[in-house]
């Protein structure tokens, strides 16, 4: 049997599809080892931006008020 490695986006997509198919968010989150709010965030991003919304996003702030 071959080992299949899924990308982060593919894992998130599988989780979102499971929730949209009727699985409980808590169970999906427990399987992935993430918090329930994270799965809810992924579902929201998927519904607005489709697959592109599941990609990693920068945590850098868009501006710094005290920078000259």
Reported as a pLDDT band with limits 50, 70 and 90, residue 62 is confident
The pLDDT mean for the chain works out to 90
Conformational region of residue 59, where left means phi above 0, alpha means psi within -120 to 50, and beta covers everything else: alpha
Q: Where are the beta strands (DSSP E) in 5-59?
A: none
Domain boundaries of the chain, sorted by first residue = 9-54
Number of helices (H) and strands (E) in the chain: give both, helices first. Answer: 3, 0
CA angle 22, 47, 31 (to 5 degrees): 45
Stated pTM of the model: 0.79
The predicted-structure confidence for 4-19, as pLDDT tens digits, reads as follows 777 889 999 999 999 9
**Per-residue confidence (pLDDT) for residue 12, from 0 to 100:** 94
């Amino acid at each position: 049997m071959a080992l299949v490695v899924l990308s982060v986006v593919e894992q998130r997509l599988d989780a979102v599809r499971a929730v949209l198919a009727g699985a409980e968010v808590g169970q999906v989150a427990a399987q992935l080892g993430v918090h329930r709010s994270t799965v809810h965030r992924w579902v929201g991003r998927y519904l607005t931006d489709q697959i592109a919304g599941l990609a990693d996003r920068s945590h850098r702030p868009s501006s710094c008020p005290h920078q000259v």
